Amino acid sequence: MINSVVLVGRLANDPEMRYSSSGTQITKFRIAVSRPPRAGSDEEQTDWLNVVCFGKTAEFVAQYLDKGSLVGIEGRIQTSSFDGQDGKRQWWTEIAANSVQALESRQEAERRRSSQPARQAPQQQAEPAPQQQAAPPPEPFGDIEEDSDPFGDQ
Query: Are the C-beta atoms of 142 and 90 separated by less than 8 Å?
Result: no
Higher pLDDT, 118 or 86: 86
CATH number at residue 29: 2.40.50.140
On whether residue 93 sits in a domain, the answer given is yes
Res 123 pLDDT > 80: no
Of the candidates 92, 73, 81, 63, which has an alpha carbon nearest to the alpha carbon of residue 31?
73
Convert the pLDDT of each residue in 49-79 to its tens digit: 999 999 999 999 999 999 999 999 999 999 9
In a domain, 151, yes or no: no
What is the C-alpha to C-alpha distance for residues 47 and 43, in angstroms, rounded to an integer? 13
Taking only the tens place, the pLDDT of each residue in 19-29 is: 999 999 999 99
Q: Out of 29-33, 40-44, 68-72, 77-81, pick the least confident.
A: 40-44
Whole-number percent of the chain with pLDDT over 70: 75
Range of the domain at 114: 5-140
> Do the domain assignments include residue 145?
no
CA end-to-end distance (rounded Å), the chain = 26
Alpha-carbon gap, residue 17 to 53, rounded angstroms: 9
Burial 66-101 (b: 16+ CB within 10 A, else e): bbbbbbebebeeeeeeeeeeeeeeeeeebbbbbebe
Separation of alpha carbons 31 and 11, rounded Å: 4
Q: What residue ranges in 36-151 does DSSP mark as E strands?
A: 45-54, 70-83, 89-102
**Range with the lowest mean pLDDT among 43-52, 53-62, 108-117, 145-154?**
145-154
Report pTM: 0.71
* Residue 146 resides in a domain: no
Domain count, the chain: 1
Residue 98 lies in a domain: yes
CB 50 within 8 A of CB 95: yes
- Report if residue 147 sits inside a domain: no
